[in-house]
Structure 1
């Protein structure tokens, strides 16, 4: 199996958090969003992870060179963005030689076991493509599945207006596929899983397996969703109800500062004298001035 973690996007909805970092390298506890995903991929058996790069590619390359991750990472820059499915062509030779291709969006926060369930169901079903599906309260920001009376997926509609405020089963940003599907990816232009490949296969009645996941899932496309994932991760590492903070070794927190609730202070960040932080994320290199109070925030 080969695994591609999509890492090229600009993360424009997360500005200014992504002004200096690609979205997958945003800190998450003692690691990063991407580091956590690599750790979840490692038990599935691949000998490496592939990452396509574009936005702040040099920062990602430095991170890979300096960080001990659960698997080696082979990265490659895209000279132009091809779209999530089109990005597979960046590693066309490697993926074409695999038995199974796993593609994971680099901005996902997944509960443990999600990717293992996707791979297991894909291998058991013999499908051309398997898609992790999650249920959300508002489907209008996602690709929404339509099912027939027998529960078989028959269509996927990208960001439909009719799904606003409606609970919907949506594509969860993780895919398992036969490498033969690479032949469908056009050499030019943008090519997406949700807008192109999945609807095309469903229209052709190809073997598409929708794998429901009821566990933890978040698309870290907004500041609120990213902060929620960081706080959830911190809480999972502490006794229930206890304060849970992580201060990176290279961060500086003044002895008179007070951290309560769940607080992440990332590399090279500075928290000044008398500062008060509660349920807050302080990104790499950020500064909290003396006697500043931040609650329920995210500081870049």
Structure 2
């Protein structure tokens, strides 16, 4: 029956937030062999912290208001989050976006739930922090499913009436209460069924969205966070040339870095060049591919 498009900006009561951080990030290997995808830094800030700050700007902070799920390298996620959120550590393999929410049903307990992917990089220079996803909550009736979506020039398979999903959705309790804690994705268990029932709305997002799922998109997000220049952590040591680069805490750069990221603690030796790539430690260099060229 189609998808409606929603405008507006405000908050909504009886809602909690869930940040999904359990995935393996297979397309981002070998970076995600070092860290879970949710903890990979973008602009020297872990992706998970960006998501938590986004929902915190709307008042979703603390273990009663926001939950984080974890599975792959889950101990790292649990240690990183600490007491900032309710934690759901999934045993075995990740349960997917639907199963992860389903496992949190008792904690959600009748509330609507704002669900965000930790790997979503969003930047909207026209909006205050959190204001973009706040539009998901504006005037919400507690019955419809809402998605944040990037408008496309044309409709294409896998999209929602000409919008590409942009990392955040708002789910009514009536769709959450029966979700099993079994491997499944929200697109199949909630979004498409709601679309077919005429109960899906899209809130347009006009800023920059990247899912950081590939090395190319991950590097693009980092360079976007650097604002077209270089972002060098105060604790980094840099004697070489950095051009459009992000350099993390404790990194040492004596060579040349261009259109690249050096992770915290990474090293670029004298005479060495790192271009369109991510450097981890002393030797691991992950090429970004054609997106940056």
Q: Classify the TM-score, shorter chain.
A: 0.7 to 0.9
Paired residues of 2:103 and 2:181 also in contact (CA < 8 A): no
Q: Deviations over 1:193-239 (max 9, x none)?
A: 21332112222x2522121212221111111111111111111xxxx
Q: Deviations over 1:133-174 (max 9, x none)?
A: 11357987x83124xxxxxxxxxxxxxxxxxxxxx4222231
Rounded to whole Å, the distance in 2 between the matches of 1:51 and 1:117 is 22
What 5-or-longer segments of structure 2 have no aligned partner? 1-14, 125-130, 281-293
What 5-or-longer segments of structure 1 have no aligned partner? 66-70, 147-167, 236-240
Selected match of 1:38 from 48, 52, 58: 52
Selected match of 1:143 from 158, 181, 203: 158
Which has the larger share of helix?
1
Paired residues of 1:127 and 1:208 also in contact (CA < 8 A): no
Structure of greater relative contact order (alpha carbons < 8 Å, 6+ residues apart): 2
Root-mean-square deviation (Å): 2.4
Q: TM-score, normalised by structure 2?
A: 0.79
Evaluate the alpha carbon distance shift between residue 138 and residue 209 of structure 1 in structure 2; reply closer, same or farther with a 3 A threshold. Answer: closer
Paired residues of 2:20 and 2:69 also in contact (CA < 8 A): yes
Q: TM-score, normalised by structure 1?
A: 0.77
2:285 corresponds to which residue? Answer: none
Paired residues of 1:143 and 1:171 also in contact (CA < 8 A): no
Selected match of 1:193 from 161, 169, 186: 186
1:257 corresponds to which residue? Answer: 240
1:64 corresponds to which residue? Answer: 81
Instruction: Give structure 1 regions of 4+ aligned residues with deviation exceeding 6 angstroms.
Output: 137-140
Matches within 5 A, 1:260-275: 260=243, 262-271=244-253, 273=254, 275=255
Rounded to whole Å, the distance in 2 between the matches of 1:31 and 1:78 is 24
Aligned residues: 256
1:10 corresponds to which residue? Answer: 24
Evaluate the alpha carbon distance shift between residue 32 and residue 139 of structure 1 in structure 2; reply closer, same or farther with a 3 A threshold. Answer: farther
SS of 2:226's equivalent in the other structure is: helix
Measure how far apart 1:126 and its partner are. Answer: 4.5
Paired residues of 1:29 and 1:246 also in contact (CA < 8 A): no
1:209 corresponds to which residue? Answer: 201
Matches within 5 A, 1:217-236: 217-235=209-227
Measure how far apart 1:129 and its partner are. Answer: 1.0
Q: Deviations over 1:224-261 (max 9, x none)?
A: 111111111111xxxxx7x4322252x4x25x32222x
